Structure 1
Amino acid sequence: MKKFTIILFGLITSVCLAQQTVTGTITDSNGSPLPGVNIIEKGTNNGASSDFNGKYSIDVDAGATLVFSYVGFTTKEVVVGSQTVIDVTLASGDELEEVLLVGSRALPRSNTTSSLPIDVLPAKELSSTGQITFDKALQYKIPSFNTVQTPVNDATSLLDPYEIRNMGPSRTLILINGKRKNLSALLYTQTSPGRGETGADISAIPTDAIKRVEILRDGASAQYGSDAIAGVMNIILKDDVNQGSATLRTGITSEGDGESIAFSLNNGSTIGDDKGYINYTIDLSKVNLANRPGTVDAAGEAADFEADIADVEAFLRLHPDAGNINGSPETAASKFLVNGAYNVNEDSELYFNAAYVYKKVNSFANYRTPYWRTESDFPYLADFFPNGPNGEYIGYLPTFEGDLNDYNGTIGFKTKKNGWNYDISYTTGGNSQDYSVNNSHNRSDVRNPDTYLGDINNNGTVDLTPYDLNNDGTVDPNEGVELLQGDFKYRENSPISFDPGGTKFRHSVGNIDIAKLLSEQVSIGFGAEFRTETFEIIEGDLASYDGGGADSFAGNRPENSGKFNRYNFGGYFDISADITKDFLVNGTIRLEDYSDFGEAFVWKLSTRYKFLDDKLTIRASASTGFRAPTLHQIYTQKAQFSFVPGQGIQVGGLINNVSPQARLLAIPKLDAEKSTNITVGFGAKLNRNINFTFDYYNIQVKDRIVLSTEITGTEAGNTPLDQVLQDNNLSDVSFFVNALDTRTSGIDVVASYRNIEVGSGTLGFSLSGNYTIENERDGDVKNPTLIANAGQSVVNDTQEALFFTSRPITKWILGTNYKVGQFGFSLNNTYFGKTTFRQQGMSNDLKTEFIPKIVTDLGVNYNATDNLTFNLNINNILNVLPEWEFKARNAAGEAILNDPAQVENQSNLITFNQRYSQMTYDGYHFSQLGTLFNLSMNYKF
């Protein structure tokens, strides 16, 4: 019995020694807890991770070694021995990089260990630009990112088109904390970059709510789904609970207009007994109108409007800009955002974020001069618009006012069990835009349906008996009966304010993402996404569309309005393997199934190799991608006003691909775009202060969706195309079509050298650039048969310029910053390279070139106390403005340029007689407002 007891005691002791529980807390060098640290029992698959408070617990064998690893921190190994409590501090600092949440669907990595080119912009980099909105801040920080305000805005005044690598706004996916942000309800239809596309409203995101921005400059459809052909922008929200701030900003242009004032508050708080956090931002702003009209040419006006030159000159003497207002519209915005998380238990977290934005924009159409809308043609205008100094009619200026509401929210649950990481979330978001047109009228000659008798032929008798009026030998029913319609329904009876309707978009997204570190070398991730989308075209009031509708912006007709929806399901699998300490391979596959156009299968393979003690890295990726046609592109149908060179403002029609008109014209339904992306690059991190990356990219897109040019009638006038135009009283028609295969390639360069000791301060340099090697059509335009047979094309020279040359061929940003004592100075020079354009209506023998320019921004900040900071930004300190010039394409073009009269005529054609003499609609690529002064005060608490 005694022997048995000794054996039993020995077995129990050995079991106890074989397994022991180790607990502890993991912090960084500042003592802050680190959640999500991976703890692995070395040589096994046994693992755990730290909770929100940095605490962990793991059962290990006696004599085990624990490996503590966290991306962006130094990995640490600790021998357990007899210890049951092991607290660990992981080294962090400037020499290490933040964890990147974008780029891999397995477990996150740091920038140096990623196999993909990723830009990381901390919040202070965005605020240092002095730009009012997030999208404009990116313009002066990311060379491959471009956005600009168009001179005549309409609906585009609510948000500006942006793009990465010349690929248009719809091919960059926007994420917030890793979750898809909703698209805008706006479809760009004007002749400007981004025509025919839509994108998320990134200008709506308050800059003070952003912790950092991660921009993946590589195709990522396999990882994230549609819209990621050009890359992914992941906006990480602030989660700080210890440091809040209030910021007051003011600004003005050197011309004394465009005054701005803004106030923002960002703060945070813990939830419960340090069980979680909540961080919130309130941002209120107002920007006044900045007007930059041109001096209008009288001869061009007289010719275009068939007006007496004396009348034109008399008006322009009083109003050299012809009354036009174009530039930067008046904008007011209110933005609210909250981000938070709650630690349910040691291994589980509930997280959430939500944002709401309201914007009000007041902008203007082109001024209707008295020789354009004449009092002789419309006598009632003298009563409608007595705008002259003595109450006489001198024309009128229609307004365009827009109200934008944008919201998004995510709630999710993360948990870890047996080394598996689970993330389940629901995201919703929407964008609505409602428009108003004031100070206009409906000039159509639609009459009221009531009728009365009248003596048409003035024979003294109202003829009630049918008679052979046309002398064809036959009396047709009611022929010769003299019945007249009632009064004009509009014209002198027209309202001057209209509700043209608007658009709405919303989506709901469900995600489940699962990842696991199988070993120290291999991690996997897989998941699924279900998404529903609804696009709504809101009907305008009757007067806004009846007949010709409101003069300047016609409303949405009932037959073109309605709700349209679809759903899609996607699933992916991702594996990341460190073949060796230096050699990484990452692969992803994805399958998507859309309810309206079918399935898409895409893949991605990327790799990275480090050598010379991690100082040099080479990386490469190859992938396929897709972009689903948006609901906006499938269902939008409307009449729209646009400037036609030499013809003034004309009404054209946009027909959708599921309409009877589309079937009549044999226009095919839209299919998904397909892409092939290749990226090859290398990086050098010589020490903690010197970094350099160089990446080559090549993007091929098949079946690219474009909004066609305006297709006009044929000379014969008897084709189905002519019939559609005649039946709908349209001068032309446009539509969406998978018309192009394109090829885009270029290089991205990013370099920095910081912490150089100069005097008693530190100096830093940064250089980043993008150079486009090729951006062109690959093969012939894919014209529908009917259009080709009519001798026309859906893509003309203007369209090609919009797609391929309307953005700078190269853009470079050279930044310098110097910190000394309580002061900080920054000087940034942004070089905008050449842009070429082929405006519609100009001679085929000419093209326009926008001259390369350097825009210089100066920033000064002063830390008055530990809590109070003043910042002065002078953007475009040298007052550089966009400039363009004609270039001859051949000898005939040279002859035009040698004749001042012809040059003036060509210039009038593309600037609407110099209304936009500083720029045209199409090719300029930085602000026309000149120097801007911005002063801000930030108080931390």
Structure 2
Amino acid sequence: MNPRATVLRRRRLSVAVLASLFTAVPVHAQTAANAPAVTQLDQLTVLGNRTQARTVLESPVPIDVLSAQDLRSSGYTDISQILQSLLPSFNFPHPTTPDGNTHIRSATLRGLSPDQTLVLVNGKRRHASAWVNTGGTVGKGAVSTDLNAIPVSAIERIEVLRDGASAQYGSDAIAGVINIVLREDAGFEGRVSRGTTRDGGGGTTAVALDTGVAFADGGGLHLTWDYRDRKAANRALPDTRQQYFGIGRNGAPVAPSGTFGSGTGLAPIGGAAAGAVADPREATIDRDALWRFADSADTVEKTVFGNLRKPLAWAEGLEAYAFGGYGVSEGSSNASLRRAGQVENVRAIYPDGFLPWVDTQSTNASLGAGIKGLLGDWHWDLSSVYGRNKLDYRTRNTLNATLGAASPTAFYNGALEASQWTTNLDANNSIELGWHAPLRLALGAEFRRDTYGISPGELNSYVWGPARVLDGPSAGAVPTIGSQGFAGIQPADAGNHHRHNVSAYAEAETDVTDRFLVSLAGRWEDYSDFGSTTNGKLALRYQLDGGVAVRASVSTGFHAPALAQQYFSSTSSRTLNNAVTGVPEYVLVRTAPVDTVEARALGARSLEPEQATNVTAGLTWGIGGLSASVDVYRIDIDDRIFLSSNFVDAAGSTAIRDYLAALGSPGVTSVRYFSNAADTRTTGVDASARYRWELADHGRLTATVAYNRNKTELTHVASTPAQLAALGVRTPLFDVTERTRVEKGQPRDNLTLALGWEVGRWGIHLGTHRYGEIEGVAATNQSAANVAAFAQGSTRFRTLPTEAGTAGNLDVIQKLEARWVTDLDIAFRATETVTLVLGANNLFNTYPTRNIATTPQVSGADTFGVFPYSELSPFGWSGTYYYARLEARFQ
């Protein structure tokens, strides 16, 4: 295929009118001691159109505007958690993967992929992260934008467009757009908070300092310094497995059993060796301290941000601006425990086993600058924004077992880096054509350059050394290769890649009558690596009587495959004993770019952009103290990009390995790659209502209710490539685990109820959030007997005939029940400048549904015996978090 060939199909814009409702009612009422209660519906926003600012009720598309007070009134310190508490259509699960997840958490809008929501800062495109999610969590395969790299204290407001907007803003805006508007106010503000969980751990300290200077001729400079130090809350269960070698009848060491309870006398020790007894250390080891299982990592974040706007005297209306920031986030998360008796361990270094730690450092740097002014009747804006993310990996408390007792215990494991440079020229005008109202016209052009790079780790982090297992029943065998917990990036996976694209766009709107607004937008975009696309959008709004308005929009959209999805490469090394010679052989497990020999040979194709059609429609109603909305939507996405299943040989077969070796890739035994694996349809409804009572001397009372119901269905799944079928591989391209995560891995519905009361110097907010049911695959290819053992737990589950295992076996899908999580905060304004806030997130100490009990010995634990909760939980598993915050502001 010609890499410059156009792979995007032009789509003819169709119009469908359904009923929709758009509102900017946030669902988290403001604590009154800080500022006005909830965001006003008359607040202006420029998101969703390029022609003029308008209030959110006047917008033909659904927009939420969350003020600084909304954002800073809770005990949450990350933008993603705050948005989850305010917007029912926003989801922020809490995985534990020791990778980029430590910093770059996958947040979703309307149940879609994290990279299908575009993030802007001051209306300009924000760079994405260098990390691509290859773990088993929500958003697998996506390249996210790190929302939490922007400190909350630096933000004036956040505008959230819940509608497709690729025709206006380009790639990624399928689910919507999040625009973060930075502060430019004058004065000095300081905030310090401290909190911890009720059940231990999770201590968090946050300090933020803001200062702003107003210029005499208008504009100003605002600077923010932010510091956050978070400790993880460990919720691991004791590991009751055998840790040490068993002692056989003749005193010889016996391989440790992995059966639950085998280290505590509840099950046979020493595997199948008759007469083996336990090592005396089994009775004294602290089983509670072996693991750590937390819904966050230990992190320290230091960030500075600035925002500048300065009128220029050279010409009327001329203004310069600049904004940006620099932040470093250092995190530590753990990999899996290596027990003392495992072959991965060198007992001369770790006689009691070890828990590897992965230390990551994520560095974000961004700078945007521009100048805007007036040329005749045209308002113009020329800007350029550069952003970069680098992710460095290090491991400690680990080893490379193939280096034996000489192995280092800490390694540098490599780095990922991505950058984006975007330059825009925009212009808009209001043109009188003799119509009922002027035609408001906006034109623009954009050039963007993206880069992506992979750097290797130090030699010892991935090398196959000369040492063999030194002792025990496996003495002489080849142990696992590379640094345990996170093997170093190999030189063969390193590389640097780049691309560029150009685009032109236009938007026009007019009021056909006093009641009827029509808006049209179109965008053409051409990429250097895969071709061009044209997208369009039509939005309508009609004002009825009694404060009611009808709105609707239809649009096409796209998401261009990220460079990381095209070029991410990972190789893990291990050894297998040759079935003929018995000699250990070095073999490779690959996540292969789509243009490599291994991927192409097993059916990979060049990635095509995802293509979407969005339809939304509904009603808004604002009268007196009541505002309400309901909107419905449907989002069809073709050619969605996912990470494929792992393709390995069936038991007793070497077909894949032999086939790839014949093509010049010897030793490769497992391959996965990115693929346009499926088409989806997402349907849903958003509804919200708010009422405010003015109570005279008794203050103000505000009640809010908001609801989202969302469903994603796979309408088409690509079949297993013929190359794999010919090799006897039964694993589908997109397996049951991945399909279930896409369709069921996020809450089916979300409901938020909030009540805020402001009286005198006091402000009280009580809010509760109901997270709907979730499903996730707990185990695959299980015998009926094993599934019967699962039933001894309390977690509900369903089964399916296994699709790639033994005939008659089952895949087990567990259900995470709906949960209510309640937050409370009380604010007291001690003086005109000082406010004290006390609060609790998850007031009633709610935890997710326990994982399925796979054995009778450890009720409620999963198959590893220590993980009680699923990573799909949208609210984590730390329990109640108590906090106190002191705020001071001086004008």
Q: Give the TM-score category using the shorter length.
A: 0.7 to 0.9
Aligned-pair distance for 1:564?
0.5
Aligned-pair distance for 1:101?
1.6
Structure-2 separation of matches of 1:780 and 1:383: 50
Question: Which residue pairs with 1:315 in the alignment?
Answer: 282
Structure-2 separation of matches of 1:95 and 1:133: 23
Question: Which residue pairs with 1:245 in the alignment?
Answer: 189
2:117–2:174 Cα contact (<8 Å) kept: yes
Aligned-pair distance for 1:901?
7.3
Return 5+ residue gaps in structure 2 as ranges: 1-23, 25-37, 243-255, 263-267, 272-276, 465-480, 575-586, 783-799, 801-809
State whether structure 2 residue 771 is matched by structure 1 residue 839: no
Question: Which residue pairs with 2:17 in the alignment?
Answer: none
1:534-568 Cα offsets, whole Å, 9 max, x none, are: 00101111111123211111111111101110001
State whether structure 2 residue 453 is matched by structure 1 residue 544: no
Return 5+ residue gaps in structure 1 as ranges: 1-71, 73-92, 386-392, 445-489, 643-649, 887-899
Range moving further from structure 2, 170-179 or 723-732: 723-732
CA distance 1:254–1:711, shift in 2 (3 Å): same
Aligned-pair distance for 1:109?
2.0
State whether structure 2 residue 438 is matched by structure 1 residue 521: yes
Aligned residue runs from structure 1 range 646-665, under 5 A? 652-665=589-602
2:717–2:734 Cα contact (<8 Å) kept: no
Question: Which residue pairs with 2:219 in the alignment?
Answer: 276
Aligned-pair distance for 1:491?
2.0
Question: Which residue pairs with 2:359 in the alignment?
Answer: 401
2:228–2:301 Cα contact (<8 Å) kept: yes
Structure-2 separation of matches of 1:339 and 1:527: 24
Q: Secondary structure at the match of 1:318?
A: coil
Aligned residue runs from structure 1 range 168-247, under 5 A? 168-241=113-186, 243-247=187-191
Aligned-pair distance for 1:321?
4.1
Aligned-pair distance for 1:781?
2.6
Aligned residue runs from structure 1 range 15-414, under 5 A? 97-241=42-186, 243-271=187-215, 273-298=216-241, 302-303=258-259, 308=270, 311=278, 315=282, 318-321=285-288, 323-327=290-294, 328-345=296-313, 346-373=316-343, 381-385=346-350, 393-414=351-372
Q: Secondary structure at the match of 1:281?
A: strand
1:753–1:766 Cα contact (<8 Å) kept: yes
1:713–1:725 Cα contact (<8 Å) kept: no
Range moving further from structure 2, 600-609 or 93-102: 93-102
Aligned-pair distance for 1:311?
4.2
Aligned match of 1:607 in 536, 540, 560? 540
Range moving further from structure 2, 668-677 or 154-163: 154-163
Structure-2 separation of matches of 1:510 and 1:189: 31
State whether structure 2 residue 504 is matched by structure 1 residue 571: yes
Aligned match of 2:390 in 409, 419, 432? 432
State whether structure 2 residue 724 is matched by structure 1 residue 787: yes
Q: Secondary structure at the match of 2:339?
A: coil
Q: Secondary structure at the match of 2:239?
A: coil
1:585-622 Cα offsets, whole Å, 9 max, x none, are: 11111111001111111111110111115x11111111
Question: Which residue pairs with 2:674 in the alignment?
Answer: 736
Q: Secondary structure at the match of 1:186?
A: coil
State whether structure 2 residue 639 is matched by structure 1 residue 706: no
Matching residue's letter, 2:612: S
2:755–2:767 Cα contact (<8 Å) kept: yes
State whether structure 2 residue 571 is matched by structure 1 residue 639: yes
Q: Secondary structure at the match of 1:779?
A: strand
Matching residue's letter, 1:526: L
Structure-1 separation of matches of 2:107 and 2:257: 33
CA distance 1:683–1:364, shift in 2 (3 Å): same
Structure-2 separation of matches of 1:173 and 1:936: 32
2:394–2:411 Cα contact (<8 Å) kept: yes
Structure-2 separation of matches of 1:418 and 1:179: 25
Structure-2 separation of matches of 1:599 and 1:249: 49
Structure-1 separation of matches of 2:40 and 2:81: 30
Aligned match of 1:717 in 631, 635, 653? 653
Question: Which residue pairs with 1:482 in the alignment?
Answer: none
Percent identity, please: 29
1:107–1:524 Cα contact (<8 Å) kept: no
Question: Which residue pairs with 1:812 in the alignment?
Answer: 751
Matched residues, number: 764
Q: Secondary structure at the match of 1:841?
A: strand
CA distance 1:130–1:704, shift in 2 (3 Å): same
Q: Could you say what the CA RMSD is over the residues aligned between the two structures, in angstroms?
A: 2.5
Structure-2 separation of matches of 1:94 and 1:259: 31
Structure-2 separation of matches of 1:842 and 1:902: 16
Q: Larger Rg: 1 or 2?
A: 1
Structure-1 separation of matches of 2:660 and 2:826: 60
Question: Which residue pairs with 1:673 in the alignment?
Answer: 610
1:704-750 Cα offsets, whole Å, 9 max, x none, are: 00001211114573534654499665553211001101111100112
TM-score by length of 2: 0.82
1:364-408 Cα offsets, whole Å, 9 max, x none, are: 11121113347xxx6xx33322xxxxxxx1101111101111011
Matching residue's letter, 2:422: V
Q: Secondary structure at the match of 2:565?
A: helix
CA distance 1:652–1:768, shift in 2 (3 Å): farther
Structure-1 separation of matches of 2:528 and 2:722: 28
Matching residue's letter, 2:300: A
1:652–1:710 Cα contact (<8 Å) kept: no
Matching residue's letter, 1:281: T
CA distance 1:904–1:282, shift in 2 (3 Å): same
Matching residue's letter, 1:855: V
Q: Secondary structure at the match of 1:491?
A: helix
Structure-1 separation of matches of 2:508 and 2:766: 43
Matching residue's letter, 2:655: T
Aligned match of 2:880 in 909, 931, 934? 931
Question: Which residue pairs with 2:548 in the alignment?
Answer: 616
1:172-202 Cα offsets, whole Å, 9 max, x none, are: 0000000000001111111010111111110
Q: Secondary structure at the match of 2:739?
A: helix
Structure-2 separation of matches of 1:313 and 1:118: 64
Aligned-pair distance for 1:903?
7.2
Matching residue's letter, 1:742: T
CA distance 1:231–1:315, shift in 2 (3 Å): farther
State whether structure 2 residue 693 is matched by structure 1 residue 748: no
Q: Secondary structure at the match of 2:258?
A: helix
Structure of higher RCO (CA pairs closer than 8 Å, 6+ residues apart): 2
Structure-1 separation of matches of 2:200 and 2:573: 32
Structure-2 separation of matches of 1:904 and 1:775: 37
CA distance 1:312–1:512, shift in 2 (3 Å): farther
2:620–2:628 Cα contact (<8 Å) kept: yes
Q: Secondary structure at the match of 2:71?
A: helix
Question: Which residue pairs with 1:799 in the alignment?
Answer: 738
1:827–1:856 Cα contact (<8 Å) kept: yes
Matching residue's letter, 2:234: N
Q: Secondary structure at the match of 2:401?
A: coil
CA distance 1:712–1:311, shift in 2 (3 Å): farther
CA distance 1:729–1:415, shift in 2 (3 Å): same
Matching residue's letter, 2:108: E
1:772-795 Cα offsets, whole Å, 9 max, x none, are: 1x3111023343221344332121
Matching residue's letter, 1:244: F
CA distance 1:873–1:725, shift in 2 (3 Å): farther
